Amino acid sequence: MPPKKASLLDDKRVAVLVNPKSAKGRWEKDLKARAYIHRVFGGRVYDRAGTKVEMIETARRLSLENDVLIALGGDGTVADAMQGIFNAGRQKDVILGIIPFGSGNALSRSLQLSLSLKNAVRAIRYGTPRVVDVIDIGGRIASFVSVGATGLVTYRTSQSKVPGLVGHLLASRILFTHPRHPMQISLFDGRDDAGVSFERKDLDLKVFDVIINKTNHFGYSWLIAPKAKIDDGYLDVTVFDIRALTYVWYFPLIYLGIYQKLLKHYKVRRIEIHGGDLHAQYNGEAIEKRESFEMNVIHKALRVIGPRTVDKKRPNRTEWIAGDSGF
């Protein structure tokens, strides 16, 4: 019988942070998945936190006690885990693992993690830590941010009594009539798509939406920032200075990441946006309305476990060397 393969988790203290409300309470409903995770990780599964504040505090506490923190959930859960790691000051010590289990899996897709529960667990056990960047937005840690129309939709969704995708679609009706908002956008230490570098570039525009990403995706597989890279040291900025009806008419192309080729696009280290009464979201969570926002990239901020090899033809599927079929 061949020797047992060494796991990345060997000799490490591991905790699994679960958002029980993720994906409309899927954790509570999927008894088979829950039993599987408990069987693999035993008593190291923490699924009692209710509010976002409790999730971040639990993540902070677990980061002080463990070497690996695994986030099981969607973008919000991953964001809470990252925030907790940073709040604990352990971003250079704790490795983040991700088991996609939500409706939005933006960072998981950019890392090309499998959306299969068992394959995601295998990736954590036998994968490779990868150093990634994050966005700092006023002390909040993020993988993707938007200011403008999608920020307003996120806020409306958070206030809706209808959960999930249906609630999001209902809130999205505002896109048909949302006016462009005057914004003063300052970009620092970056370059444009022509490769022209600049120390500072100021834009004074009427804007429908501004996308600031490290990941390629928003939730629901929306390829919002096709040129974003999670480890290049830059914020990926796309400016939608188009009217609402244009946005809605071309939305299928925007969803597929095609229309973005026609828009203003930049790679920058820092961005400031001023405009008054601005709505924003980070990692799919609404931020209170403000007059301005500032975002910075934190380069090589965190180690995240990714798959050992990736099937390039099917980027959401992980290839495994023979013998990696189970536990």
Residue whose C-alpha is closest to residue 208's, from 174, 234, 236:
174
- In the chain, what are the domains? 14-133+302-319 (3.40.50.10330), 140-299 (2.60.200.40)
Q: List, for residues 216-241, the tens digit of each pLDDT value.
A: 998 778 999 999 999 999 999 999 99
DSSP string, 238-305: EEE-S-HHHHHHTHHHHHTT-GGGGSEEEEEEEEEEEEEEEEEEETTEEEEEEEEEEEEEEEEEEEEE
> For 59-109, how does the pLDDT look when each residue is reduced to its tens digit (9 = 90+)?
999 999 999 999 998 888 999 999 999 999 999 999 999 999 877 788 888
Residue-averaged pLDDT of the chain: 88
* Rg of the chain (C-alpha set): 20
What pLDDT does 159 receive? 73
Within a 13 Å sphere around the CA of 98, how many CA atoms are in the beta-carbon half?
Answer: 33
* Mean pLDDT, residues 3-27 taken together: 81
Q: Is the pLDDT of residue 133 over 70?
A: yes
Both tokens of 150, joined, read 């999608």
133 or 110, which is more confident: 133
Angstrom CA distances, 127 to 31, 102, 124, 179, 320, stand at: 26, 21, 5, 46, 10
Q: What percent of the chain has pLDDT over 70?
A: 90
The SS3 assignment for 135 reads: strand
Residue 165's pLDDT is: 64
Question: Among the listed ranges 96-110, 138-152, 204-218, 244-258, which one has the minimum average pLDDT value?
Answer: 96-110
* Three-class secondary structure of residue 229 per DSSP: coil
Residue located via tokens 């003063």: 184
Structure token pair of residue 68: 């690996």
* Structure letter (DSSP) for residue 180: P
* pLDDT-above-90 percentage for the chain: 64
Residue 3 pLDDT: 54
- pLDDT reported for residue 307: 83
pTM: 0.87
Going by the DSSP 8-state scheme, the letter that residue 174 receives in this structure is G
